[in-house]
C-alpha cells in the first residue's frame, strides 16, 4: 500500500463522520451537479499559490476566479436549456468573470429573454452547436495524417478548428486533409508546435502504479476501484503499486478511439475520495463531477510532475495520436510529462477527467488533453467515490 496508508485511512474516517454531521451525503454519479456555495471547501493556500504560479494571478484574483467559475459551472446547463435549438455553445470569460452563451441569429425574442434571465452574457454567432458538431463528426470520419494534431468545435469563433503541426503544414497529405475538412463546413486552421503523444513511461521510482513495464497515474477513486487512461493497460492486466504489491486488475480499457480504463482494487488496497496535492497544495477532496466550462481554470495531479494548473481551452476535441485518433477529449494549457498519464484533472472539488497526452513539458510549457470522467463513469456504470 502507499506510504501514506495510515494518513488516508484516518482521512476516510473523518470524511464519513463529516457526512453524518452534515446529515449524510450519498455517492456521486456521472450526473452530479456542483454543491451549494456554502458547502464548497474554501480554497487552500497551496491551491491559490499554484494558480498564482501557473496562471499569473494575484491571491485575490485567484479567489475571485474560483468563485466566478463555480457560478458558471452551475449556470452552464441552465443556459444551454434556455437557448434551445438556437444554442451555439458556451464558455467562461476570465476577463468578465461570467459565462458567455452563444445563440444563432434566428433566436426568438423569447429565447433571448430566457438566456438573459439565467444571468449569462450572450453573443450572437453564425452557427448552432448542432451544426458545428455535425461538421466535426464528418471530419472525424476522415483518416488524418500525422501532421494533423487535433480538431475541435470552437463556440466563440463559431467554427471547427483544425490544428496542424507547424513544420508539417506544407505536406501534401496535410493539405489534402485540410481541403477535405474545409469542404465539410466552417473550418479554421491553426498551427501547433508539436504532435501530441501519450504520457505513459517506463518503470521508475515515485508514487505511481505499474502494469508490465509501464508507469501511469491513478485518476479518481470509484466504488470498487479507480479510473485511469486506457493506453496504460489492457483488460486483464495486473496492476502493482509503488511498492510492487498487487493492487488489482484492469477490468475495462479502450484506446484509441477513447482513452479510458478502470481498475478493480483488492489485496488490502482501498479507495478514498482524494486527489494528491504533492505538498504543493493539501490533498484535495472530491465532491462531485460537475463539468467546468471552456475558459475555466483547472489543475492536474500526476506522479511525475505532481501538481500544475492552467485553463480549459476546448472540449470535444479529436486528438490524432500516432496510435490512432481519440475522440471527445478536453484540451488544456496544463503541462504534463511521461508517467502523468491517467492522473487527475480537477476543478475546485469537482472531478473533470483523466490525463491522456499532449505535447511539451513542465519546463517549457505545452498543452495536455484529458478524457472527461463522466464519460468513463457512464461507459462502465461506475460511481465516483466522493466526500
74 tagged catalytic: no
- Alpha carbon of residue 36 to chain centroid: 22
pLDDT, position 206: 31
**Contact (CB, 8 A) for 209 and 240:** yes
**Contact (CB, 8 A) for 128 and 87:** yes
**Contact (CB, 8 A) for 250 and 364:** no
The SS3 assignment for 37 reads helix
| CA atoms within 13 Å, Cβ hemisphere of 221 | 23
Which one of 54, 154, 259, 283 is the catalytic residue? 259
How far is it, in rounded angstroms, from Cα 217 to Cα 199? 10
Q: Per-residue pLDDT for the chain (387 aa), expressed as one digit of tens each?
A: 344 433 443 333 322 322 222 333 333 334 433 344 344 456 778 888 889 999 999 999 999 999 999 999 999 999 999 999 999 999 999 999 999 999 999 999 999 999 999 999 999 999 999 999 999 999 999 999 999 999 999 999 999 999 999 999 999 999 999 999 999 999 999 999 988 888 665 332 335 899 988 999 999 999 999 999 999 999 999 999 877 889 999 999 999 999 999 999 887 888 889 898 888 888 888 999 999 999 999 999 999 999 999 999 999 999 999 999 999 999 999 999 999 999 999 999 999 999 999 999 999 999 999 999 999 999 999 999 998
Element (H, E) at 368: strand 365-372
Q: CATH 2.40.10.10 residue ranges in the chain? A: 1-85+197-387
- Architecture label for domain 1-85+197-387: Beta Barrel (2.40)
Which one of 128, 150, 158, 341 is the catalytic residue? 341
How far is it, in rounded angstroms, from Cα 172 to Cα 252? 38
pLDDT, position 27: 32
259 tagged catalytic: yes
**Contact (CB, 8 A) for 120 and 324:** no
- CATH code linked to domain 129-195: 3.30.300.50
pLDDT, position 121: 97
The SS3 assignment for 282 reads coil
Helix axes 59-83, 45-55, angle to 10 degrees: 80
Nearest by Cα to 319 from 166, 140, 129: 140
User: DSSP letters along 213-272, please?
Assistant: TEEE---EEETTEEEE-GGG--TT-EEE-TTS-EEEEEEEEE-SBS-EEEEEE-TT----
How far is it, in rounded angstroms, from Cα 353 to Cα 92? 18
385 tagged catalytic: no
Instruction: Kindly give, in sequence order, each residue whose CB lies less than 8 Å from that of residue 90, ignoring residues fewer than 6 positions away.
Output: 76, 79, 80, 99, 100, 101, 102, 120, 155, 293, 294
Q: CATH 3.30.300.50 residue ranges in the chain? A: 129-195
Which one of 127, 152, 231, 306 is the catalytic residue? 231
- Alpha carbon of residue 369 to chain centroid: 7
**Contact (CB, 8 A) for 15 and 22:** no
Sheet of 87-93, strands arranged across: 87-93, 98-103, 121-124
Amino acid at each position: 500500500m502507499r506510504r501514506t496508508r495510515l494518513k488516508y485511512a484516518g482521512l476516510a474516517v473523518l470524511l464519513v463522520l463529516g457526512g453524518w454531521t452534515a446529515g449524510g451525503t450519498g455517492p456521486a454519479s456521472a450526473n452530479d451537479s456542483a454543491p451549494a456555495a456554502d458547502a464548497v471547501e474554501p480554497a487552500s493556500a497551496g491551491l491559490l499559490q499554484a494558480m498564482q504560479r501557473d496562471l499569473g494571478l494575484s491571491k485575490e484574483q485567484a479567489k475571485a476566479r474560483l468563485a466566478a467559475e463555480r457560478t458558471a459551472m452551475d449556470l452552464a446547463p441552465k443556459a444551454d436549456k434556455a437557448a434551445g435549438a438556437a444554442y451555439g455553445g458556451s464558455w467562461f470569460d476570465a476577463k468578465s468573470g461570467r459565462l458567455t452563451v452563444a445563440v444563432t441569429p434566428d433566436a426568438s425574442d423569447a429565447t433571448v429573454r430566457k438566456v438573459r434571465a439565467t444571468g449569462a452574457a450572450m453573443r450572437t454567432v453564425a452557427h448552432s452547436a448542432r451544426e458545428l458538431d455535425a461538421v466535426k463528426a464528418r471530419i472525424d470520419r476522415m483518416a488524418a495524417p500525422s501532421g494533423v494534431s487535433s480538431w475541435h468545435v470552437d463556440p466563440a469563433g463559431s467554427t471547427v478548428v483544425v490544428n496542424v503541426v507547424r513544420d508539417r503544414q506544407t505536406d501534401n497529405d496535410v493539405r489534402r486533409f485540410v481541403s477535405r475538412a474545409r469542404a465539410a463546413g466552417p473550418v479554421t486552421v491553426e498551427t501547433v508546435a508539436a504532435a501530441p503523444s501519450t504520457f505513459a513511461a517506463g518503470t521508475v521510482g515515485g508514487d505511481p502504479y505499474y502494469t508490465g513495464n509501464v508507469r501511469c497515474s491513478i485518476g479518481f477513486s470509484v466504488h470498487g476501484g479507480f479510473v485511469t487512461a486506457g493506453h496504460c493497460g489492457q483488460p486483464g492486466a495486473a496492476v502493482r503499486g509503488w511498492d510492487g504489491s498487487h493492487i488489482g486488475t484492469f477490468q475495462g480499457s479502450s484506446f484509441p478511439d477513447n482513452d479510458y480504463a478502470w481498475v478493480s482494487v483488492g489485496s488490502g488496497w482501498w479507495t478514498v475520495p482524494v486527489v494528491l496535492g504533492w505538498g504543493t497544495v493539501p490533498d484535495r477532496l472530491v465532491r462531485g463531477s460537475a463539468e467546468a466550462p471552456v475558459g475555466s481554470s483547472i489543475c492536474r495531479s500526476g506522479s511525475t510532475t505532481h501538481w500544475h494548473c492552467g485553463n480549459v481551452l476546448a472540449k470535444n476535441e479529436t486528438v490524432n495520436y500516432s496510435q490512432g485518433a481519440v475522440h471527445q477529449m478536453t484540451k488544456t494549457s496544463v503541462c504534463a510529462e511521461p508517467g502523468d498519464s491517467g492522473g487527475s484533472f480537477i476543478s475546485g472539488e469537482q472531478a473533470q477527467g483523466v490525463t491522456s497526452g499532449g505535447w511539451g513539458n513542465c519546463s517549457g510549457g505545452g498543452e495536455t488533453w484529458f478524457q472527461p470522467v463522466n464519460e468513463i463513469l457512464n461507459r462502465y456504470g461506475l460511481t465516483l467515490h466522493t466526500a
